[in-house]
Amino acid sequence: MDLLYVSPRTAPGDPPSAARERVARLVGLAVAAGHSVRWLVPTAVEERVLAPAGVEVIACPGEVPPAHRVQERLYQVDLEVRLAATVRARVPDVVHVDGYGGVSSYLASWIPARLGARVVAVVDSLEDLLCARRTLRDETGAVCDAWDDPERCQICCSRPCGGGPPDGESPRWRGVLSRATRGLGPLSWTPRVGDYANRLDLVIHGLDAASLVLVPGESAKQALQRARLPMRAVVAGYPAEADFEAWLTVYRSISPR
């Protein structure tokens, strides 16, 4: 098969990405099994990507916008341009978008789907997908179930959080800057309510473009149903990273070839 893998982007201070590690393992297994493999990797500036021989690596270096730029974090123009060019050059049988959500481009699944490729989108965590803080905890540190209430999100994200600020930002400075810059438009550290509403709409829109969406479990599936993602192609659970034959079965289930 002709396979294209897309890894997630990570923010400064993030722990090692399980999704990126999974893709790094899968590309090696795929090329060893005789498949054609391309790997699109968002990286930090000057980061070097190590890949098995035979894997075509397309590195996309760039910086992640700060946490208060809620909508900007859903785009990565360089990756989006390279992804479109890569798919146009040779439409793969399957595009595997891993670690969907977080600070990755929501267009990672939408672009190849619109160019005629079949897409598997893998959601690693609801925290990354549904919460702008990426914690699903409110400003008191309590578990939050109001992720679909943009007004509540604005209040929470403009305050220090008992569960930890996004991307290691200082709670004190975040609060000070939010108050000091409120009403300054693009200079403000307090995003608009509409930014949070748009964020949720966009990540769900990107998932809806995928031929198949794999989520961690039934609770994640129920959350996506609440977020109004059509359930026609959402599957709870996904294979272990070392079980390439199981992943190949997933790919064949949506591939026209």
Residue 141 domain-assigned (yes or no): no
Residue 139 domain-assigned (yes or no): no
Residue 78 domain-assigned (yes or no): yes
Residue 185 domain-assigned (yes or no): no
Residue 136 domain-assigned (yes or no): no
What gap in Å lies between CA 96 and CA 119, rounded to an integer?
6
Residue 63 domain-assigned (yes or no): yes
In terms of DSSP H, where are the helices of the chain? 18-32, 77-89, 107-114, 126-130, 150-157, 171-181, 193-208, 218-226, 244-254
Q: Which CATH number covers residue 32?
A: 3.40.50.2000
Residue 140 domain-assigned (yes or no): no
Overall domain count for the chain:
1
- Determine the residue type at 67: A
In the three-class reduction of DSSP (H, G, I as helix; E, B as strand; rest coil), residue 212 is classed as strand
| CB burial of residue 249 (10 Å; 0-12, 13-18, 19+) | exposed
Residue 153 domain-assigned (yes or no): no
Domain of 39 in residue numbering reads as 2-131+202-254
Q: What is the pLDDT along the chain (257 residues), one digit of tens a residue?
A: 999 999 998 887 787 788 989 999 999 999 999 999 999 999 887 778 888 899 999 999 888 888 778 888 889 999 999 999 999 999 999 999 999 998 899 999 999 999 999 999 999 989 999 998 888 988 888 999 999 999 999 888 877 664 454 554 544 555 555 555 555 555 565 678 899 999 999 999 999 999 999 999 999 999 999 999 988 889 999 999 889 999 999 999 997 76
